[in-house]
Amino acid sequence: AQKITQTQPGMFVQEKEAVTLDCTYDTSDPSYGLFWYKQPSSGEMIFLIYQGSYDQQNATEGRYSLNFQKARKSANLVISASQLGDSAMYFCAMRLLGWAGGFKTIFGAGTRLFVKA
């Protein structure tokens, strides 16, 4: 069964330090995409970064990078040089990209990140 697991309900990090948010996934489909979204206290869902199942290199977007380990089925989000504005809920999601997968998107339960000054 397709599933996303985020094992860290809450994380603390000191401002300016790096932090890794864990995400593991489970699917037998060969074609999928992995996404991270940020949800600040205001409630909106902000797309951060994407990694395709066939991508050879880890995705990066500014201070965000995705540590993709396909054999381990993990897609951890790394935030470098944390800022106070990074305090938010972070969701990992998997999108099945083929018709067989029904184009479903499965979300994890989220990790709440607190950045300390």
Span 33-92, contacts to another protein by CB under 8 A? 33, 35, 37, 42-47, 50, 52, 91
Among 16, 70, 104, 116, binds another protein (CB under 8 A): 104
**Size of the residue set binding another protein (CB under 8 A):** 23
- Whole-angstrom CA distances from 75 to 4, 35, 66, 117 are 10, 9, 6, 27
Nearer to another protein, 43 or 62 (CB): 43
Residue among 70, 103, 76, 55 at smallest CA distance from 6: 76
Write phi, then psi, for 111 (nearest 5 degrees). -130, 130
By CB under 8 A, tell whether 108 contacts another protein.
yes
3-state secondary structure of 105: strand
Nearer to another protein, 107 or 114 (CB): 107
Nearer to another protein, 45 or 100 (CB): 45
